[in-house]
Structure 1
Amino acid sequence: MRISTLPSANLSFSTFLLTGFPGLEWAHHWVSLPIFVGYLMALLGNATILYLVRTDPSLYQPMYYFLAMLAVTDLGLCMSTLPSVLGMLWFDARMVGLVHCVLQQHFLPSSSFMESAVLFAMALDHLVAIQFPLCYASVLTGPHVALAGVVLGMQSAVITAAPSLHLLKFDYCRPGALSHAYCLHQDTIRLACSDTHFNRLCGLCIIMLAMGSDVLFILLSYTVLLHTMLAITSAGERLKALNTCISHILAVLCFCVPVLGLSIVHRFGCHTSSLVHILMGTVSVLFPPLMSPVIYNIKTQQIRRAIFKVVSLGKMQ
């Protein structure tokens, strides 16, 4: 903690304190067990998806390229919070510097916005495949998907850069106790004594324009998809088209429901226990990376075949 030599009214704090799980300090090692297992499964699951898409030629298709992008963003969500959460639970490492906190607040929302954008791109992939099957191969080529991934990644990094960098300009003259096990933007600006209107307004606009528009377009695309599927005369073809969308719908729900729940708790749960806020914050960054590989491993036959192929080759060697 760095304190200036100016009068007490101008004290400046450059180190923050992670709260952790209040009331459960005695059980932090026990609390860390399910969280660590969840992180480990999320890391292994998404790394497996990337390995399969990279090594299995049968998965060299746009759908699986988008799935690989989703795995990358899920790894970003895990890695942006894993060191802080486990460091605090295992080693009681509660102190975090301003620069580290700002970096975490940049990469965490960047990964979230990237995940939202990739889920939207996957919805478009399903829309083109079902609505315009004859044009699918020419519209969604490998280079087009790669370019889309680069654009979405750059967009997610750029839109969060301004509010994140602006945090470095603030004077923090309140004791730096953060309310979660990792750094959140709304937590940090609450401790600032500077004018934070830009960050508050910018953060709200980014969420509304980026994540809100992605969810809206996903709903619109599925409205069109539902109309198209109902028009299919063959029950078997209709069921096949619906089955291709189920995994994506579940992935969208796994991402949106925890984020929506966390937003509701933050907005309207002022009298709710702080432990509920912290648990919801942990779930919102851990649940999507944990569940996406499980959903696609269970629901996607090609992924299961690729896993069985790797396992059978391992047994033969």
Structure 2
Amino acid sequence: MVAPHPLIHRPRRLRRTEALRRLVKETELTVNDLIYPVFVMEGENIKQEIPSMPQCYRYSLDLLLKELQDVVNLGIKAIALFPLIADEKKDNQGTESYNPNGLVQRTVKAIKQEIPQLIVITDVALDPYSPYGHDGIVENGQILNDETVEVLVKMALSHAEAGADLVAPSDMMDGRIGAIRRALDVEGWINVGILAYSAKYASAYYGPFRDALASAPKFGDKQTYQMDIANSREAIKEIALDIEEGADLLMIKPALAYLDIIRRVRDYTHLPVVAYNVSGEYAMIKAAGQQGWIDEKKVILETLTSMKRAGADLILTYFAKEVALMLHH
């Protein structure tokens, strides 16, 4: 028998068995951490797979309600709703975005009637409604800030009236959180929360999402309003402003290449921090999994656990249903 080396510290003692490893596990991913993004479109009996997002679909409202019943049965508590708007309903002023009978408004009402316990989060931004694919009103090639905020306020109010639990401004216009909070309060929607996309970067990871909603910018890019990918301190500035203006939850988008930002925000605030595991992150894992280059399920769990470990309280992810199924087994 080999004499033991005189070590005092043997960290492997706590890795020896599965039971020991679970006993000292620092980060736990649960179904309660998941927000499931869904895409809705006009029509009936439609389920369209998004080519760049395998196993993700656009649904007409009737089939979306069936999908969401499955989501609830898996224990997922919240969804984020994104609309595919017909081209003929798009205009530079985003007027369809606050139509009380618009696609989002009708969808929210139907969900709340059929599945009232499901938390519904609505996207507040003009890009799905704009012929230019930008998040704001365009004038002479520029994105107007204050004029856009006026429309975002109308949109948020229409979502609140339809029954949304949280509105989620994803546009990155200056001052929109405060303007929306004031308007919601004045109109009596004091219990409708704001999930602020506070640190949203001008990322190359959004391509598949823009395919899903046909919302890619028709000119230029979004760098005059979304954040520079190189900046970290600026994220804290944006976070501080959104907290001051009344945000209830704070989003970092994307997540995987911005784990350091999630950590900095977590250390800065006690508000809930949300990570958006975006479409490009999803597509890369799916593509590698289809090629057999990775163990897809293990990589999904490792990726989402890294976001929790970095400090995210919640994760908005297209993997939500898959993860819920894995966690149930």
TM-score norm. by structure 2 comes to: 0.23
By relative contact order (CA 8 Å, sep 6+), the higher-ranking structure is 1
Give the strand-richer structure, 1 or 2: 2
TM-score norm. by structure 1 comes to: 0.24
Give the helix-richer structure, 1 or 2: 1
Larger radius of gyration: 1
